[in-house]
Amino acid sequence: MARSSSGFVAGLTAVAVAAVCFLAYQASANAPANPSADPRTPNSAAPSVSPSGGPRKPAENPLVVPADSGSGARVVYALADRRVWLVDAKGKATRTFTVMPSTVHPVPGAYSVTSRSGSVRGSDGVQIEHVVRFATTQDVAIGFSAAVDGSTPAPDASKKTGGIRMKRTDGDALWTFAVIGAKVVVVA
């Protein structure tokens, strides 16, 4: 009997070790590459706190377009929320989605789409598509894009890049919506 008990205990121990290893792997896969690095540059316009100093609360209804984003047809990019809205001429959001900002951020304000590229290699070396550029900050072109492989990783904080990454389906929608001259409004 003692022999079968020790086998049972060994089996339970093996299962417990495997579970701990799996959880450790999941945690490491979701951890930032450099936890001590600030993903924002010193001149970043993306506040992480509310005006009162506390942490920002996520929007209750993400379809609600930020009130300080103007009027008419436009792309609205909220820096702190990491969210984009495609807004029709009547001021109604036709689509909204989250994005992964890069290390250099545009200053809040109104811009126009200045150039577009169907497919290029990003400054981070990743093949990207549906690039929609609208600003330049710190001598870095700022624009929306989608990685061809569908990834939206956190940017390398050691590089100055301006690509605002999104999922490919969101990139398709933005590409169709944001033609040359289209209005882009950046809000804090």
The pTM is what?
0.68
| Mean pLDDT of the region 141-167 | 93
| Mean pLDDT of the region 15-22 | 46
pLDDT at 126: 87
Mean pLDDT of the chain, nearest integer = 78
Q: Give 137 or 20, the one with higher predicted confidence.
A: 137
Query: Residue 139 contacts by C-beta under 8 Å, 6 or more apart in sequence?
Result: none
Residue with tokens 């495997």: 18
Q: Give 125 or 116, the one with higher predicted confidence.
A: 116
Q: How many Cα atoms sit within 13 Å of 113 on the Cβ side? A: 23
- In the chain, the domains with their CATH numbers are 67-187 (2.40.440.10)
Q: pLDDT for 85-122, tens place per residue?
A: 999 999 999 999 999 999 999 999 999 999 999 999 98
